[in-house]
Amino acid sequence: MAVHAHPDDESSKGAAVMARYVAEGARVRVVSCTGGERGDVLNATLKNDPHIARDIAQVRRDEMAAAAAILGVEHTWLGFVDSGLPEGDPLPPLPDGCFALEPVEVAAEALVRVIREFRPHVMTTYDEIGGYPHPDHVMTHTVSMAAFLAAGDPAAFPHAGAPWQPLKLYYNQTFSRTRILAFHEALLAEGLESPYGEWMTRWPDRPERTVTTQVECADYFPARDAALRAHATQIDADSTFFAVPHELQRRIWPHEDYELALAYVPVELPESELFAGLGSVAAADAAATSGAWQAEYDGRTMMEGAR
C-alpha cells in the first residue's frame, strides 16, 4: 500500500516498483489522502483550458483513474481536502477544513479502515519532512505513521474493522541528491543538456536521507512515465521527469529508492526488495487474504445478481 498526499504523487514516487510488483502478481493499492483540488495547473499548455478551470477536482480524479489503470494498481481516495501550498512571507494561514488541519486521529482512523480492509504487508509513505515541506506531505507522514501503529491494535478504532498489522513501512526517497547528481553528470558526459544544474545549487537546503532499499524496476520506467503523463495538469511533455533517456537511466540508476522506517520482521540492510524478510509468513497471509477477498467478492457478486 502506497500512501500519498495528492494525485500524481504516486506516479513520481515509486511508480515503477508498483508496476513491477503488479506484473509479478501482487495486489498494490494507492491511497490518495486528498483530491489535489488546490493544486496549480503546472502544464503551461493547459493553463487556460476552460474545462479544467471549471472543474479541476473532477479533472484530477480522471487523471488519477488513468494513471492507476496504466500502473495496474487499485486506488482509494481517503477523502480529505487539499491544503494548497502556502506562499508568501509571512506564510498565509491554511484554509479551514483542509487536510493539514484535520485532527490526526480523524485522518488516521480513515486510513486504518483502508489498511484493515486491504491488509497490506508493506506500506510506503513520506519521511517526517514530507519529502519536501508541503503541509499535506508532512501530514501524510504523520497520519501514515499513526495508522501503521494503530492498525494492528485491537483497542485502536475497534469500529474500523478487524485488526491487521503491516510488517514493514518505508519512506519514498526518489529525489535523493546522489541520484539527481548521477543523472546530471551522466547527461553532461553524453554531451546532453542537463536541467539539474540549478537543482544542485539549491541542494544544501535539503538534507540527504539514508537509502536502505533499492528495488530494480527499469523495465517499468515506460509505465511510470505514461502514468506521469496521465496527470496532464501537473506534468508537461518538457518536464524534467523525462530529461534522462531510458537507456541512460537503466545504465546509471535502474532502481527506485526507499528508506526503511519500521519493521516487525528481522531485516538485513541493504535490501533489494520491499518484501525482504517477510518470507513464508507473508506468502501464507497473502494466500489467505486473497482467498478471503475472493470469497467476499464472489458472495457480493452473487447477491448483486440476485437483486
pLDDT of 64-102, one tens digit each? Answer: 999 999 999 999 999 999 999 998 888 899 999 999 999
pLDDT of residue 286: 45
Looking at residue 272, the DSSP 8-state letter turns out to be S
- CATH superfamily of the 2-175+210-276 domain: LmbE-like (3.40.50.10320)
Average of pLDDT values for 100-125? 98
- Three-state DSSP at 221 gives helix
Grid coordinates in use for 206? 535539503
Distance CA 183, CA 193 (A): 11
Give the three-state DSSP class for 210.
coil
Q: How far apart are CA 43 and CA 46, in angstroms?
A: 6
Burial class of residue 101, CB neighbours in 10 A (0-12, 13-18, 19+): middle
pLDDT at 306 over 50: no
pLDDT in tens, 142-166: 999 999 999 999 999 999 999 999 9
Nearest to 134 by CA among 33, 257, 45: 33
Q: Assess contact for 282 and 274: CB atoms under 8 A.
A: no
| 240-286 pLDDT, tens digit each | 999 999 999 999 999 999 999 999 999 999 999 999 999 856 544 64
Alpha carbon distances (Å) from 307 to 212, 272, 299: 51, 48, 13
Query: Which one, of 101, 65, 68, lies nearest residue 82 by Cα?
Result: 101
List of residues 6+ apart from 123 with CB closer than 8 A: 1, 2, 3, 115, 144, 148, 166, 168, 169, 170
Under 8 Å CB-to-CB from 11, ≥6 apart: which residues?
Answer: 67, 71, 224, 227, 228, 230, 231, 235
Of the candidates 67, 131, 139, which has an alpha carbon nearest to the alpha carbon of residue 101? Answer: 139
Report the C-alpha gap between 156 and 153 in whole angstroms: 5
Whether the Cβ atoms of residue 244 and residue 183 lie closer than 8 Å to each other: yes
C-alpha cell recorded at residue 164: 491487521
Q: What is the mean pLDDT of residues 39-47?
A: 91
Tracing cell 519521511 back to the chain, one arrives at 127
pTM above 0.85, yes or no: yes
